[in-house]
Amino acid sequence: MIKTDKLNFEYDDGSFKLENIDINIDDGEFVVIIGHNGSGKSTLAKLFNGIYLPNSGKIYVNKMDTSDEELIWEIRKSAGMIFQNPDNQIVATIVEDDVAFGPENLAIERSEIRNRVDKSLKTVGMFDYINKPTTSLSGGQKQRVAIAGILAMQPKCIILDEPTAMLDPVGRKDVMRTIHKLNKEEKITIVHITHFMNEAVDADRIIVMDQGKKIMEGTPKEIFSRVKDVRNLGLDVPQVTLLAHMLKDEGINIDDDIIKIDEMVEKLCQLK
């Protein structure tokens, strides 16, 4: 779905670089890109969507080269993008009008827009709010409306650039549930960028970025079991993973790649 080939990027003022990035994201995958602020993860997202263009190397979205100007709208149609601040990406004052904004830009026929708006809002669980003013929604609800807005463009892939950073725990959970649902039920490829490690445990694959480089890549179990490396980067590991590690250090016979509570409960009950 998304493939980068020796990607290099530098801001005009030279303030930040991405070096030699090779990433390959398959159709239908759920990939989490993690790293702390300034690691380059958000820059990467903007490169995927053709908002920035690489200095050298290539990015292919759905086999289309992002540096080909003629393809830019096709690319944006197939790879939708959600941003961090829920307030700054909603265009219209009424929920359904905002969801319709994307399809309207694609010059889609009216009856079809109607179908898509209704269906997208149902998928993200915001159909009851269809005629509500967007300013009356909570942060989490705004993000879900934004997701519906992208969904109505029928993308193959959705790139989410720290969509949960400004939300409270309830909003965060709702957004995470929604994007997992899109991945499972609608088979949409998800690229989720975050600095919350606990949002990565259910991913198919994690890519860890640091100082403009890709430094780790693997399944959640592979990544989290490297507790020391991850913590050295200033990132969290789930508490249970840390606990499993500490127990192992104490000589308890337990796997150190446990990432979920229920897994831990099972393992410990077997030990007893």
Find residue 102's DSSP bridge partners. none
The residue among 17 and 20 lying less far from other proteins, judged by its C-beta, is 17
**Is residue 55 within the footprint of other proteins (CB under 8 A)?**
no
**Is residue 264 within the footprint of other proteins (CB under 8 A)?**
yes
| Member of 24, 55, 56, 239 binding other proteins (CB under 8 A) | 239
> Within positions 6 to 35, which residues make up the interface with other proteins, using CB under 8 A?
none
Cα 159 from chain centre: 5
Give the E-state strand segments of the chain in sequence order.
Answer: 2-10, 17-21, 24-25, 30-34, 56-61, 64-65, 79-82, 157-161, 189-194, 205-210, 213-218
Q: Using DSSP, how many helices (H) and how many strands (E) does the chain show?
A: 10, 11
**Is residue 60 within the footprint of other proteins (CB under 8 A)?**
no
Kind and range of the H or E run holding 271: helix 261-271
Find residue 218's DSSP bridge partners. 206
**Is residue 93 within the footprint of other proteins (CB under 8 A)?**
yes
Candidate ranges 60-68, 121-129, 177-185, 258-266; the one touching other proteins (CB under 8 A): 258-266
Structural tokens at position 117: 């708006």
| Member of 133, 184, 187, 255 binding other proteins (CB under 8 A) | 133
What is the total count of residues that contact other proteins (CB under 8 A)?
A: 74
Cβ neighbours of residue 43 closer than 8 Å, sequence gap 6 or more? 9, 16, 18, 52
The residue among 83 and 127 lying less far from other proteins, judged by its C-beta, is 83
Q: How far is the CB of 145 from other proteins (least distance, A)?
A: 12
**Is residue 92 within the footprint of other proteins (CB under 8 A)?**
yes
**Is residue 110 within the footprint of other proteins (CB under 8 A)?**
yes
> Within positions 199 to 228, which residues make up the interface with other proteins, using CB under 8 A?
none
Candidate ranges 5-13, 54-62, 160-168, 209-217; the one touching other proteins (CB under 8 A): 160-168
Contact 66, 47 (CB under 8 A): yes
Give the whole-angstrom CA distance, residue 62 versus residue 45. Answer: 15
**Is residue 138 within the footprint of other proteins (CB under 8 A)?**
yes
